[in-house]
Amino acid sequence: MTKSEIINGVLDRFLPARVLEIGRIRSMQRRHEIGDGWSTLQFARHKAVKVLVSVDNDPRTLQVCAQFPELRADNRIMFRSSVDEVHRSAFDLVYLDAEEDDEATVGHFRSIEGSLAEGAVVLIDDVYEGIKGDLLIPMLEKEGWTIEELGPMALATRKVVENADQV
């Protein structure tokens, strides 16, 4: 299964979606469309995505985005250079695809976990082909998240406890 198919499958399972993406499209080369690198475009094209906030600290990614009509910034699609610039709204899906660094990936998750909607899911790219998940996956499992392997990605979900205050 390609990364595009994985992203679309996750979106189909968890509708509707307010998406926060950390790590944005970096290349216009078509060979990246079915693999990595085009997640931003996949999110923008999917009917379930109501809001997409895409974060990347490389300003050159904005030049790539400007080449695609569906990636023009508007009320539905917003670009930020840092997670600190993200309005603290509730996100249904967070996509972590930034540095190839396990500590940075944990840092990205910690910086946004207060913005997770109830029942939110976290999709992490390249955790089984690198080190991104070495710290994050065990940490999430320890905190009660369920991890599902989707090819090179991991999908973290958490069971919503209804009426948790009633025993």
How far apart CA 60 and CA 38 sit, in angstroms, is: 15
Q: Does residue 167 form part of some domain? A: no
Residue 32 confidence class, pLDDT cut points 50, 70, 90: low
Q: Does residue 62 form part of some domain? A: yes
Looking at the predicted structure, is the pLDDT value of residue 59 above 50?
yes
Q: Does residue 165 form part of some domain? A: no
Q: Does residue 121 form part of some domain? A: yes
Contacts of 83 (CB under 8 A, 6+ apart): 22, 55, 108, 111, 112
Q: Does residue 99 form part of some domain? A: yes
Q: Does residue 166 form part of some domain? A: no
pLDDT of amino acid 110: 94
How far apart CA 6 and CA 80 sit, in angstroms, is: 24
Q: Does residue 163 form part of some domain? A: no
Instruction: Give tens-digit pLDDT for 78-135.
Output: 999 988 888 777 999 999 988 888 898 999 999 999 999 999 999 999 888 778 888 9
**What CATH number has the domain bearing residue 91?**
3.40.50.150
DSSP state of 163: T
Q: Does residue 63 form part of some domain? A: yes
Classify residue 42 as left (phi > 0), alpha (psi -120 to 50) or beta.
alpha
Range of the domain at 100: 3-157
Give the total number of structural domains in the chain: 1
pTM of the model: 0.89
